[in-house]
Amino acid sequence: MTDPLELPASARRPRQTFELEETGFNEVPKRFRRFYRRWRGAGDKLGPNEALCPVCKVVIRSTKELRAGDRVYCMPCMSRLELVEEEGMLIAKVIY
C-alpha cells in the first residue's frame, strides 16, 4: 500500500474540477452563493467537492475536489474549517 501523501507532488492524482451551478442558496452575497447549498438531511450524499459545516449544517462546495488538510470557510456562520479524514470519510472540523 502506498501513502499518497508520501508520493512526490507530481505523482499524486490530480484533483477533479467541478462547474458550480446556482443552488438557490440565498444567505450570502450573490457572488458567493454557488459555493454553498442547503443540506437535505441524513440521506443527502455529499460530492467529492463538498463538505458539511458542522456548526450550521450548510454544504460548502468547491470548484476542486476536497482532500484532507484542506481549509474551507463557511460564510453563513463565519466558521473556519479544516478537513480531516475519519473512518474513510472527510469530516470538517472547526478551527477555533
Partner 1 sequence: MQLIAGERCALAASSGLVNAAPDQASKTFLATQTLDEGRHVEIFTQRLYDLGVKPNDLETTIKTYINPHLGKFAEVLLEKIDKKDFVAGVVGQNIVLEGMAFSVFEMLHAGAEASNPKFAHTLSGTIADERRHVGFGENRIGELIRRYPEKKPEVQRMQREMTKHMLATFHEAFARNGSPAEARTGAPQKDRAGPTYQGLNLAEASNEEMEGALSATVLKEFKTRLGRIGLEYQSPV
Footprint of partner 1 (CB under 8 A): 27, 41-42, 54-56, 58, 74, 76-80, 94, 96
55 or 90, CB closer to partner 1? Answer: 55
Q: CA separation (Å) from 24 to 14, 18, 36, 94?
A: 30, 18, 9, 25
**Contacts for 25 with CB less than 8 Å, ≥ 6 apart:** 33, 36, 37, 38, 58
CB of 96 to partner 1, least distance (A): 4
CB of 39 to partner 1, least distance (A): 10
CB of 95 to partner 1, least distance (A): 9
